[in-house]
Amino acid sequence: MLDRTEIKRLAAEAGFDLCGVAPCHPMPQAEERFRAWLGRGLHSTLGYMERHTEKRFDPARLFEGARTAVVCAVGYKNAASNGYPAAHRTRVASYACAADYHTSIRAMLGRMLDALLKTRPALRGRAFVDTAPLAEKQLAVEAGLGWIGRQSLLVTPALGTYVLLGELLLTEPCGSYDAPFEGSRCGTCRACLDACPVQALTPDRTVDTRRCISRHTVERDPDPAAPLHGWIFGCDACQSVCPYNRRAPQHRNPAFDPLFDPAAMTADEWFALSEEEFDRRMGQTPLTRSGLERIRRNIG
């Protein structure tokens, strides 16, 4: 049987700031909300969201034999997380200023899993970092880490929404589990709703990706006529105004140190970058998903 205290110790040693442990079970209410969101067409061109819905909300169907879900979070807040001057034309979401989190978090989860397997030869486990159909935000609520805010993101009391998630699904039960996070602590605050320049946030705490700037700057098949409001990769507009984010500490894990400062770069400097210079300065960051040519088009 797994030990929750040991799991949390390993998470802290691996560099995570938060860790919660939940039993694997179906999440029918969350699945119903998700299917309603799909039914309204709010996923727009994100066709991959339609696949494997039955697995997304039942971890044991995604990884056979899964009994325990370990949900880990690491803070990534940096200088760019506080927002940009109103006239700045080349805004980059703050998570994209550091090395690609998929690589960093997968390595951190790998260290945790290796340590668990050393003393439990019969244990099987699998790590997930935002690339498989796993409802990680809802699983984080089940593991007691926070609640789903009005901007559709996980809000944690200590670190706000500036967290990146990774999960381990394990085939053994745990001796005890964290209690699910109950309710919401957004109160009457509407800062995120009011800050979204394209009104992409819906009343039911989901996102209309037909409008969302992040979708138009990062994902495939963007609308070339979509207003981007100075964002060239991602968007933090709904996050930088959140009271929980404003009082959240800067990131502690050096793996999430920014590799460049987008606030110090002008449009002219982006256009002057060669492909070689872009690869040298930003080649480890998520910006490679778009590439320099598309980023220049986003500047307009």
pLDDT tens digits for range 264-290: 999 999 999 999 999 999 999 999 999
Please give the average per-residue pLDDT across 175-193, as a whole number.
Answer: 98
Residue type, 287: L
Q: At what angle do helices 4-14 and 101-119 cross, to 10 degrees?
A: 140
Please give the average per-residue pLDDT across 54-68, as a whole number.
Answer: 96
Q: Are 170 and 204 in contact (CB under 8 A)?
A: no
The pLDDT of residue 84 is above 90: yes
Distance between CA 53 and CA 245 in Å, rounded?
31
Distance between CA 19 and CA 10 in Å, rounded?
10
What residues does 70 pair with on adjacent strands? 21, 168
pLDDT digits (tens, 9 = 90+) for 106-162: 999 999 999 999 999 999 999 999 989 999 999 999 999 999 999 999 999 999 999
Q: For residue 127, what are its two tokens? A: 């790590």
Closest among 158, 138, 113 to 18, alpha carbons compared: 158
What is the longest distance spanned by two Cα atoms in the chain?
58
Distance between CA 153 and CA 238 in Å, rounded?
10
Distance between CA 186 and CA 189 in Å, rounded?
6
Q: Are 153 and 192 in contact (CB under 8 A)?
A: no
Q: For residue 50, what are its two tokens? A: 């339609």
Read off φ and ψ for residue 2, nearest 5 degrees: -75, 150
DSSP state of 201: B
Residue 131 has a pLDDT of 87
Query: How much is the pTM?
Result: 0.96
**Within its chain, how far is the Cα of 9 from the centroid?**
23
Q: For residue 243, what are its two tokens? A: 């009271």
User: Does the active-site annotation cover 114?
Assistant: no
The pLDDT of residue 300 is above 90: no
Contacts of 89 (CB under 8 A, 6+ apart): 230, 266, 267, 299
Q: Tell me the three state secondary structure of residue 123.
A: coil
DSSP state of 262: G
pLDDT digits (tens, 9 = 90+) for 43-54: 999 999 999 999
Please give the average per-residue pLDDT across 87-113, as a whole number.
Answer: 98
Closest among 202, 232, 220 to 300, alpha carbons compared: 232
Q: Are 127 and 161 in contact (CB under 8 A)?
A: no
Parallel/antiparallel/unpaired status of strands 68-75 and 154-155: unpaired
**Whats the size of the chain, residue-wise?**
300
In 117-205, which ranges are E strands? 125-128, 147-148, 154-155, 163-170
The pLDDT of residue 65 is above 90: yes
Residue of 58, 130, 223, 261 marked active site: 130
C-alpha count within 13 angstroms, C-beta hemisphere, residue 27 = 27
What residues does 156 pair with on adjacent strands? 160
